[in-house]
Amino acid sequence: MSLISRISGTGHFVPPHTVTNFDLEKEMDTTDEWIRKRTGIKERHYVKPGTGSSDLGYQASLKAIQDAGINKNEIDFIIAATLSPDHYFPGIGVLVQSKLGLEHIGALDIRNQCSGFIYALSAADQFIKSGMYKKILIVAAEVQSTNLDYSIEGRHLAVLFGDGGAAVILEPASKQENRGILSTHLFSDGRHVQKLWMDSPSPKDKPTFSYQIIDDKRCYPKMEGKHVFVNAVEKMPQAVWAALECNNMTIDDVDHLIPHQANDRISLMVAKKLGIPVPKVIRNIDRFGNTTAASIPIALDESVRNGRIQKNDIVVLTAFGSGYTWASALMRW
């Protein structure tokens, strides 16, 4: 029997501590008005020191496992997506595996930043379709609040990011039912690495860690905001069009668009380019900020749990970010 894969459980977890734009006003030279007008963000969640991406991912995983109604020991593979792992190495997949107390199953880490969840979903989809694995835990989590540049130079980026984690369980579904992942499309353009990146720590530096690197601020994420904005607005619709064409659909067939929550103005411009009505666009950046790899699965989990996404709805995901990488996934829920 030929297989497709479907998401059978979702979960998300954000740290309880909320940081509003007004809180940021006290820490740096910014205003609530600037942040809301330029990004749509009102607040985001920050971890307390000592909490890593693997902790957020672990909590989200417990919820996804419960939602799928499976025993955690049925999970036979883990794929983790993050740009902010607890350690330089190893990745967080193995940390989530050990926190869950799972057997010696494989754990793969994906380094595709804002597109990380869709890349992970695509990889998991291939493993399920090939029959290699039957219950894959995909976990996406970020802790970004602990390394932001609050100076004038870094404030455009510092106000965007939030911390959070989300997880899904992917399982085989029968093709006759035709519910599940219908396509994934992955793209990259490495010419633009330096438009959105964190240069250090880099083994190219000897020594890798030095006060000079900190003084030069090479240890902070850096972004050429306008370049990223223009490319995001161009590439996310292209990824969605690729998905629609592959499935012989038009934008009118789509019930929900979940764009990576990078900036609400980007989400609205992507919607306009695609010609999809705004009420069909899932937007929660006002409450979470940009949680990078976790943003799409957080929005997915919220929308499933609050009943906005219903059985058989057509859902399209799209993301764009550092790399550059961009992607789409189309599914019948």
Beta carbon of residue 33, minimum distance to ligand UT7 (angstroms, whole number): 9
Cβ atoms of 88 and 200 within 8 Å: the answer is: no
Residue closer to ligand UT7, measured from CB, 5 or 39: 39
Q: Is 178 a catalytic residue?
A: no
Residue closer to ligand UT7, measured from CB, 135 or 195: 195
How far is it, in rounded angstroms, from Cα 262 to Cα 307? 24
Cβ atoms of 82 and 91 within 8 Å: the answer is: yes
Cβ atoms of 15 and 47 within 8 Å: the answer is: yes
3-state class of 14 per DSSP? coil
Beta carbon of residue 160, minimum distance to ligand UT7 (angstroms, whole number): 6
Q: Phi, psi at residue 318, to the nearest 5°?
A: -150, 150
Residues 218-223: contacts with CB within 8 Å, 24+ apart?
Answer: 219/147, 220/147, 220/148, 220/149, 220/154, 221/144, 221/147, 221/148, 221/149, 221/157, 221/161, 221/196, 221/197, 222/154, 222/157, 222/194, 222/196, 222/197, 222/198, 223/156, 223/157, 223/195, 223/196
Report 16-35 residues binding ligand UT7 (CB under 6 A). 30-31, 34
Residue closer to ligand UT7, measured from CB, 184 or 263: 263
Q: Does 155 bind ligand UT7 (CB under 6 A)?
A: yes
How far is it, in rounded angstroms, from Cα 80 to Cα 57? 9
Beta carbon of residue 22, minimum distance to ligand UT7 (angstroms, whole number): 13
According to DSSP, the β-strands at 325-332 and 314-321 are antiparallel
Q: Does 321 bind ligand UT7 (CB under 6 A)?
A: yes
Q: Does 156 bind ligand UT7 (CB under 6 A)?
A: yes
Cβ atoms of 76 and 105 within 8 Å: the answer is: yes
Q: Does 296 bind ligand UT7 (CB under 6 A)?
A: no
Binding mask 244-283 for ligand UT7 (x = CB under 6 A): ------------------xx--x-----------------
User: Given 114, 156, 231, 256, which residue is catalytic?
Assistant: 114
Beta carbon of residue 146, minimum distance to ligand UT7 (angstroms, whole number): 17
Beta carbon of residue 318, minimum distance to ligand UT7 (angstroms, whole number): 12
Of 5, 10, 21, 39, the residue at the interface with ligand UT7 (CB under 6 A) is 39
3-state class of 169 per DSSP? strand
Report 50-109 residues binding ligand UT7 (CB under 6 A). none
Largest CA distance in the chain: 60
Q: Pick from 87, 203, 192, 81: which is nearest to 142 by CA? A: 81
Residue closer to ligand UT7, measured from CB, 96 or 158: 158
Residue closer to ligand UT7, measured from CB, 128 or 160: 160
Angle between helices 32-39 and 264-274 (to 10 degrees): 20
Report 204-233 residues binding ligand UT7 (CB under 6 A). 225-226, 228-229, 232
Residue closer to ligand UT7, measured from CB, 106 or 225: 225
Residue closer to ligand UT7, measured from CB, 122 or 295: 295
Beta carbon of residue 30, minimum distance to ligand UT7 (angstroms, whole number): 3
The helix (run of H) or strand (run of E) holding residue 168 is strand 164-174
Q: Does 38 bind ligand UT7 (CB under 6 A)?
A: yes
- Residue with CB nearest ligand UT7? 225
Q: Is 260 a catalytic residue?
A: yes
CB atoms within 10 A of CB 26: 7
How far is it, in rounded angstroms, from Cα 81 to Cα 78? 10
Could you give the residue numbers annotated as active site? Answer: 114, 260, 290
Task: Kindly list the residues in this chain that would bind ligand UT7 in the complex (CB under 6 A).
Answer: 30-31, 34, 38-39, 114, 155-156, 159-160, 225-226, 228-229, 232, 262-263, 266, 290, 292, 321
